[in-house]
């Protein structure tokens, strides 16, 4: 079994849903990135814009000031760095600073220059399913067509793939993300997790991010209150195992050590099965 890559999250933001600004300063973000590397992260994903529901966007200059110093420092330490951005300007600066992957939650819809920047650089490009910015994406969580959310995500990602290829992004540089939690209600997330097959059938590696998301908090609610963000890791670990068994390319996680431990168990069982075959 080929285990998924672990993409450790470093939010250089004051308002992230997952860590509330704990890594907002460059020194704190760099230290956290190094910690995640030590725990076994394959990629460090650096983001300077919160995409939690309802979030407002920072200025491009603010986003640049947040991510470029962190990317520069971590790339210099030998880390494989991904920049989590929807802006071509930020992607371009991040690539120049050493980022090897552009992780665009908008799939290129937020900035018409993004594909040209990625194609020119030859970077790996993660294109997520997206319908609207965070401040109003809940208004677009409607999937009433035939096949529901699974078919819609597949078809909308397929349209993005056509646009990427037409812009000159090489096929083997494309990774797709079904966009769990983005313009999706909890039931949509579960439907996608149960049936990723149609999205996988597009023929591209998949990156999936479920870590600490609100639909897990809803699932684990007690007395009507969602489970707090910091207490959702056990559920995420269960999904780490299930998604690894489905052959996803990567998992975007906050607790790298927990995910790494789960994958090591799977790897050991796979070795045992090989011995007895």
Is 184 a residue of the active site? Answer: no
Cβ atoms of 184 and 227 closer than 8 Å: no
d(CA 267, CA 71): 31
One-character DSSP codes across 91-131: HHHHHHHT--EEEETTTTSS-TTHHHHHHHHT-EEEEE---
**Beta bridge partner(s), residue 82:** 45, 101
d(CA 126, CA 83): 10
Catalytic annotation, pick one of 87, 160, 173, 213: 213
Cβ atoms of 208 and 248 closer than 8 Å: yes
d(CA 271, CA 277): 10
Residue owning tokens 């020194």: 27
d(CA 196, CA 189): 11
Is 252 a residue of the active site? Answer: yes
Q: Is 6 helix (H, G, I), strand (E, B) or coil?
A: strand
* Burial letters 168-182, b for 16+ CB under 10 A, else e: ebeeebbbbbbbbbb
**Cα angle: 117, vertex 118, 124; to 5 degrees:** 160
Catalytic annotation, pick one of 184, 212, 252, 260: 252
- Where are any strands of DSSP class E within 154-254? 174-177, 207-208, 250-253
Q: Give the active site residues.
A: 213, 252
């Amino acid at each position: 079994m080929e285990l998924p890559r672990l993409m450790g999250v470093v939010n250089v933001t004051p308002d992230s849903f997952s860590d509330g600004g704990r890594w907002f300063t460059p020194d704190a973000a760099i230290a956290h990135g190094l910690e995640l590397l030590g725990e076994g992260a394959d990629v460090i994903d650096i983001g300077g814009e919160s995409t939690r529901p309802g979030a407002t966007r920072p200025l491009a200059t603010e986003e640049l000031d947040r991510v470029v110093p962190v990317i520069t420092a971590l790339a210099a330490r030998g880390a494989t760095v991904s920049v989590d951005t929807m802006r071509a300007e930020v992607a371009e600066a991040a690539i120049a600073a050493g980022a090897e992957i552009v992780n665009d939650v908008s799939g290129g819809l937020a900035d018409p220059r993004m594909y040209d920047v990625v194609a020119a650089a030859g970077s790996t490009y993660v294109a997520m399913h997206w319908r609207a910015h965070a401040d109003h994406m809940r208004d677009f969580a409607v999937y009433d067509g035939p096949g529901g959310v699974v078919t819609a995500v597949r078809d909308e990602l397929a349209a993005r793939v056509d646009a990427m290829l037409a812009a000159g992004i090489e096929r083997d540089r494309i990774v797709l993300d079904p966009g769990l939690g983005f313009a999706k209600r909890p039931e949509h997330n579960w439907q996608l997790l149960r049936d990723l097959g149609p999205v996988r059938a597009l023929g591209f590696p998949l990156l999936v991010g479920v870590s600490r998301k609100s639909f897990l908090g809803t699932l684990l609610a007690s007395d009507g209150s969602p489970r707090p963000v910091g207490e959702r890791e056990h559920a995420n670990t269960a999904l780490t195992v299930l998604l690894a068994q489905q052959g996803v390319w990567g998992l975007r996680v906050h607790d790298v050590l927990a995910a790494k431990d789960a994958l090591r168990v799977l790897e050991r069982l796979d070795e045992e099965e090989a011995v007895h075959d």
